[in-house]
Amino acid sequence: MLLPAPARYHPVPIPAAGTVPARPGALADFVWPIPQPLPQGKRRSSGNETIIRRSGRPAVLLSARLLFYPKPPLPVQPATNPNAYKILVVDDDPDIVELLEYNLRKEGYVVASAADGRQALEVAPQFGPDIVLLDVMMPNLDGIAACRQLRELPKFKDTYIIFLTARAEEFSEVAAFDAGADDFIAKPIKPRALLSRLAAYVRRDKEPQHISDTIEINGLTIDRTGFAVYQDGRKITLPKKEFELLAFLAATPHKVFGRDELLQNIWGNDVFVLARTVDVHVRKVREKVGDHHIQTIKGVGYKFNID
């Protein structure tokens, strides 16, 4: 703290009403001397009665007696790691895009953005994102339609698609999972929670995979290393979560799994999803491979049926 030295300041008399002040612009009881910048290599003698102006940084007047030199924020440098995860942010709100870009780049991600679903479909093939953060309500092409079109492209079959939206209704969440979403997060965005969730996806991808076999059961061939399903020689394309659900049930036929157990094994503990999510994915798998493979045990859960 800087303390005034009694011997170094000069009182300025306050003029009486109706008189012209002797020193126009004097706003304080005391005049605080501001020294001129010193030449390079010279130092001012010690003392707490003066303030040395630092060159190259503008001073901000906080009061009539004190000058404060703000410290400029450090810019966030783009990630230089070639193995850094790529994230595509799709939202029509520029403030949200700016917030997400700043926090994601700060964590080392490579980030691109798009203002609507149509632009996202143009950017995604060139950028090649590992994760897509997608809003629902956008002009030109909404997030649900954009997600569905991305899933139709083989390149994005395994890409994580996470919805960030103000639409918190259940039917919006169901529609998102029907379109092929992996997660659904309601706004307002909590940056630290979002970053933790993204880190969980990255950690899960980097974990070594010890399962490298093929399941042949009830007319289905499930290649767990190639993420491919064949039925009577015909290849069936499934999104990542649908494939994992089918492979998990087929690995232990006749065993009944509850919804909570399926959520824990397929989605993990780091992601919060509703039990309804399991029902939606089971319905989508049945539409593609047939109703008779996955059997519902009312009030309990699901099992893979080979009868």
Nearest Cα to Cα of residue 243 among 134, 140, 157: 157
Distance CA 156, CA 86 (A): 13
- Reported confidence tier of residue 223, pLDDT bands at 50, 70, 90: confident
Answer whether residue 120 shows pLDDT above 90.
Answer: yes
The C-alpha angle 283, 299, 275, rounded to 5 degrees, equals 50
**What local confidence, expressed as pLDDT, does residue 37 receive?**
54
Residue 92 neighbours by CB under 8 Å, 6+ apart: 115, 116, 135, 137, 138, 139
Number of H helices, E strands in the chain: 8, 14
The C-alpha angle 157, 272, 81, rounded to 5 degrees, equals 55
Distance CA 222, CA 236 (A): 10
Nearest Cα to Cα of residue 162 among 200, 127, 219: 200
Would you say 113 and 133 are in contact if contact means Cβ atoms under 8 Å apart? no
Nearest Cα to Cα of residue 214 among 231, 206, 202, 226: 226
Q: Please, what are the domains in the chain?
A: 1-72 (no CATH), 86-206 (3.40.50.2300), 214-304 (1.10.10.10)
pLDDT in tens, 83-118: 688 999 999 999 999 999 999 999 999 999 999 999
pLDDT in tens, 238-257: 988 899 999 999 888 878 88
Q: Which of 17-26, 124-133, 206-215 has the lowest mean pLDDT?
A: 17-26
Distance CA 140, CA 116 (A): 7
pLDDT in tens, 153-208: 888 888 899 999 888 788 888 888 888 888 888 888 888 888 988 988 888 776 65
